[in-house]
Structure 1
Amino acid sequence: MISAQDRLCDYSDGNWIYDPNVKSERYDDSCKEIFKGWNCISGNKSNALELIKWRWKPRRCDLPSFDPIKFLEKYRDTNIGFIGDSLNRNMFVSLFCTLKRVSIEVKKWRPAGADRGFTFLQYNLTIAYHRTNLLARYGRWSANAAGGVLEKLGFKEGFRVDVDIPESTWVDAPSFHDIIILNTGHWWWAPSKFDPQKSPMIFFETGQPVMPPIPPVVGLDMVLKNMILYLEERTRPGAIKFFRTQSPRHFEGGDWDQGGSCHRMQPLSSEQAEELFSVKNNGTNVEARLVNQHLYKALKGSHFQILDITHLSELRADAHPSTAGGKKHEDCMHWCLPGITDTWNDLFIEHLNNVKDTVWPSSISSIKSWSCRKA
């Protein structure tokens, strides 16, 4: 059962505490699954080794240290799926590297259409990453010579987004995974990907264009509503579903293609973060809080657990790859590994442990174990 302290504790509200004596044995830059651009140690980022010395401390409770062996034992015969954009891959890689450090017998494969996945054979625990930028299916659209309602409105090309159809990369994930971590957001505020004039997002529902055409923010609401419903109806009995809140960017002086940078060497103060992310200021990085407004609205009344990583991440302007590895444009969106997504996983696992016994009664656990042994 969830303890009284856990019910009262808001793990997302706290401070970063620096401990110069910390020597992490979680994993290091030798983990081969770390994407080159995120490997800040091998990429010679000047503060890469300092990042792990900052520990997140919730105000009214403690965040337990992640014990990978205990996790593998507790979630034996379990499938865990990360569904979302590259920031969810950032989190997935962090978890993989942590577990791989203590359990080296691993099978690499692509379960349920995943982009990548691994089974820790000694424990029959599988983790997988399903890449999807918008959650919904999308692709190039061009005007038809025969004409149509969109052509009459002057549309020539763009991206068709089917708000009620999940992308094929994760369509089978709900029936495979016991635990799901979902996210979307960054691509919805990406004019460099979906130019509102040259290549706009054009939304379809039940195979027909949504009329009148709607802006991306309305399309996001429609996609969230449909994808949440899709998961609610198709997940396995007793499945635990998380929706991760938006990961903030820290571009200063312009966006990524406008000379924006992230050269800070220490976490921000709360006041600095408010200046950078306030919706009222409508700055370069405002998307984080705007996306969250849509997420909270869509998740109301659902069976999803909310994994709130936004505030604690807003403070970590120092933890992005920036120019590590000789990048042409600074990366102030993804996170260094090892780094802050390790803390995301600490929060995820603590939340997971707190809800597991209420969602997985002993009868379901027995059925799951028997099914896995039989397979």
Structure 2
Amino acid sequence: MATVSSNQAKEQSSFLTKKLLPWTLYALILVTLLHFYLNTLSFPPSPQPQLLHSLNSHSSPHSPPPSDDEKGEDTSCDYFNGKWVRDKRGPLYNGTTCGTIKENQNCITHGRPDMGYLYWRWKPNECHLPRFDPLAFLNLVRNKHLAFVGDSMARNQLESLLCMLTTASSSTLLYNNDSNKFRRWHFASHNVSVSLYWSPFLVKGVEKSNGGPDHNELYLDHVDERWGADIGEMSLIVLSIGHWFLHPAVYYEGGLVLGCHYCPGLNHTEIGFYDVLRKALRSTLNGIVDRRGGKGGSDGVGVIVTTFSPAHFEGEWDKAGACPKTRPYGKEEKKVEGMDAEMREIEMKEVEAAKVKAKGIGGFRLEALDVTKLALLRPDGHPGPYMYPFPFSNGAQERVQNDCVHWCLPGPIDTWNEIFLQILKKWEEQHRTEE
């Protein structure tokens, strides 16, 4: 009898174990999932929810309602000194919804695994920078021709703007020539044309090629007519140069060789590139003032000079240099210095000098988009190895080329255009008071 009771007890114990074990496992899994969910709520893993909101909301197709700290605007504020702070909302668009992103900057579709770089916004010290409003931008440039002129950073900024504008209105590509170097889009809803002009020096230049000399040639007293010929039809011009001046080059002025930069064996005087950058930008701004500044009124022109955007290579760019950081620098963690500071200072001074030249000319606006500091603080915003699709899909590579100059789209460069919009609003306010 005792033996039977013992066997029954063992069978009951075994039955309870089999019955309870699955529920115990389910409970553990549930606790784990709940822990993961609660720890990710405060920092969204991807931009998809924000994107879907911006596309599907009938009341506000371009952005969610502003947060309390963004209500109200002050277009007279200094937007260029501040810090990067976390932003739960993420960008207006992603790499799959915007068809104009250059492939090398499409970090999301190229498999970049970390999404944290998308969830930061720029917070100026003295005011709040509002989220980009594509309809407000399009209304301000209605019936106008906006031209981005310069190097690949000009293209990077243009593609960022197009991606944000197309969340509110569709565009049509009207023109494409020379490997995407010269393109034009049209927003029929507002009769707005947006163009890209490849001109890495702004002045006349002959770029080095495989079949020619191993240096660039710059003619510092002549505007590049590949874009200069169209100045008369441009309402807004965004200029961006800098990085191409680091390459070997021979410089001409007044038909004579002025000197060169890194040209061993050519028997020219080495003069570096700082003064050359100054001369090139001066010739460009003077050329715009001379060709358009005197027209005044509704035929006037607005000019934006986007300042130098620093690179973030850790090591030599051509020797496996990389930009592996995944978060911004703190406000006081990094200072603008060395070459970055020199390039920025030259550009800022030339803008101020051109303002003096254009003083009293009606309908002429000129402003520096001083992004150098806020760009310096974003080492995490570059494509890095994801300039190529899934660079580690076959395992670790001994050497992968990194892009630590251009910016992921979406990414920090979207902020350039948020400030650009505030400049346009300020100009509009000034125009109303002058009438």
TM-score (norm 1): 0.79
Most deviating of 309-318 and 27-36: 27-36
How big is each residue's C-alpha offset from its partner over 1:336-356, in whole Å with a ceiling of 9 and x where there is no partner?
000111111001111111113
Give the match for residue 407 of structure 2.
Answer: 335
Partner of 1:167: 224
Change (3 A) 1:239 1:23: same
Name the residue aligned to 2:256: 208
How far apart in 1 are the matches of 2:84 and 2:312? 17
Identify the residue that residue 331 of structure 2 maps to in structure 1: 270
Shift of 1:255: 2.2
Matched, 1:188 2:257: no
For residues 215 and 93 of structure 1, do their structure 2 counterparts lie closer, same or farther at Cα, with a shift above 3 Å needed?
same
Q: 1:75 to 1:339 in 2, by over 3 A?
A: same
| Aligned counterpart, 1:109 | 175
Q: Which residue of the partner structure matches residue 355 of structure 1?
A: 427
Partner residue in 1 for 2:166: 100
Q: Which has the higher contact order (CA 8 A, sep 6+)?
A: 1
Contact conserved, 2:307 with 2:347, CA < 8 A, in 1?
yes
Change (3 A) 1:84 1:158: closer
Shift of 1:207: 2.1
Q: Map 1:67-86 onto structure 2 (within 5 A).
A: 67-86=133-152
User: How big is the shift at 1:27?
Assistant: 4.5
Percent of pairs identical after alignment?
28
Deviation of the 1:320 alpha carbon: 0.3
Q: CA shift at 1:106, angstroms?
A: 2.1
2:280 alignment partner, SS class:
helix
Deviates more, 1:339-348 or 1:218-227: 218-227
In structure 2, do the counterparts of structure 1 residues 217 and 108 end up closer, same or farther at CA, with 3 Å as the change threshold? same
Mapped partners of 1:338, 1:351: distance in 2: 21
By how many angstroms is 1:12 displaced?
0.8
Query: Which letter does structure 2 place at the counterpart of 1:18?
Result: R
For the pair 1:301 / 2:353, whether they are aligned, the reply is yes
Larger CA Rg, structure 1 vs 2 = 2
Deviations 1:76-127 (A, max 9, x none): 101111111101110000111111222125242259x971110101211011
Q: How has the CA–CA distance of structure 1 residues 44 and 161 changed in structure 2, closer, same or farther, with 3 Å as cutoff?
A: same
Q: Does 1:345 align with 2:417?
A: yes
Partner of 2:193 in structure 1? 126
Distance 1:159 1:313, change over 3 A: closer
Q: 1:360 to 1:209 in 2, by over 3 A?
A: farther
How many pairs does the alignment contain? 325
Alpha-carbon contact 1:79-1:176 (below 8 Å) kept: yes
Amino acid at match of 2:137: F
Give the Å deviation of 1:175: 1.1
AA partner of residue 189 (structure 1): L
1:208–1:259 CA distance, 2 compared to 1 (3 A): same
**Structure 1 residue aligned with 2:281:** 224
Amino acid corresponding to residue 22 of structure 1 in structure 2? R
Q: CA deviation at 1:359?
A: 4.5
Query: C-alpha separation between the residues in 2 aligned to 1:161 and 1:62?
Result: 41
Q: CA deviation at 1:6?
A: 3.4
Show structure 1 runs of 5+ residues with no match.
142-155, 195-200, 280-286, 364-375
Provide the alpha-carbon RMSD of the alignment: 2.7
Unaligned runs of 5+ in 2: 1-71, 260-267, 356-365, 392-399
